[in-house]
Amino acid sequence: MNLKKIIIFIIILIGLAIACAVLLYSNKPTLVIVQDKQITDSTKPFVIKISYPYISGLDDFNQKAKAIVDKEISDFKTNSLANDEAVKKVDPADYAKYPREYELDIGYDKGEIDNNIISVVFNIYNFEGGAHGSDYSIPLNYNPNLPANGKKDIALADLFPNDKNYLQKISAYCIEELKKQMAAGGITDYTDNSWLSAGAGPKAENYSVFLVNKNNITFYFQKYQIAAGAAGDFKVTMPR
């Protein structure tokens, strides 16, 4: 083999090596790192403690997460100040002696976090006045692979594209699990079959709050959804 052929052969080998490296790198999953963003505010009469997710480079997701938090803060402050003003008018002497304090606490659960899905559920507690506070959850299930101008939110139906009866199957599984949880906790007096069937029946709104993981989905049942408030809230994790 003469020198010219050797050089050409070496160039071809280098080209193949570069092509393989590019292919391997392009197929390598990008590590998705979730950072916690914090908001605190102790300006009277508020006590606000918030932790919410932020992912560098995913501006659309970050805007969605921040929008949820911003709305909760805005609604909380509006409602709390309105209640505070009402209490002040009804009994100014008592108000002056015992000033009110209103609390907003937001955290979140992390599910699957990768190039295909980012699944989080915000857990919210607020006390805006009255006898007791409120607990509820808000999901954010997001597909980072879809076009920026497309639908990036993942609905439950998107996870079962070939199963028209997915809600019936989910409902049957969850109702049985909920009965077991209630029996184990000794709280069967706080619900009945009609309440459970209504709150965990095969309706999309009953399963709108969910957290996706690699091998399962966790469904969140809000307080009063399937039982009296004293029973609290419930979660059911179902294999995918």
Q: Minimum mean pLDDT among 84-88, 102-106, 199-203, 210-214: which range?
A: 84-88
pLDDT per residue as tens digits for the range 188-212 = 766 778 899 999 999 999 999 999 9
Beta bridge partner(s), residue 210: 219
Given a cut of 70, is residue 96 above it in pLDDT?
yes
Domain residue limits, the chain: 1-30, 35-154, 159-240
pLDDT, position 131: 84
Beta bridge partners of 47: 103
User: DSSP code of 12?
Assistant: H
Helices (H), the chain: 3-27, 59-90, 92-97, 166-185, 193-200
Instruction: Check if the beta carbon of residue 161 is closer than 8 Å to that of residue 132.
Output: no
pLDDT at residue 1 tops 80: no
Query: Under CATH, what is the fold of the domain 35-154?
Result: Heat Shock Protein 90 (3.30.565)
Token pair for 213? 């993981």
Q: What is the distance between the alpha carbons of residues 209 and 34, in angstroms, rounded to a whole number?
A: 20
Q: What is the mean pLDDT of the chain?
A: 87
Averaged pLDDT for residues 68-96:
94
The DSSP bridge pattern shows strands 46-54 and 102-113 to be parallel
pLDDT digits (tens, 9 = 90+) for 55-65: 998 999 999 99
Which of 24-28, 169-173, 176-180, 227-231 is the least confident region? 24-28
Mean pLDDT score, 122-128: 97
pLDDT band at residue 215 under the 50/70/90 scheme: very high
* CB contact set of 59 (below 8 Å; sequence gap of 6+): none
Q: Read off the pTM.
A: 0.83
Q: Count of alpha carbons within 13 Å of 6, Cβ hemisphere only? A: 3
CB contact set of 194 (below 8 Å; sequence gap of 6+): none
Question: Which of 17-31, 80-94, 127-141, 148-162 is predicted least confidently?
Answer: 17-31
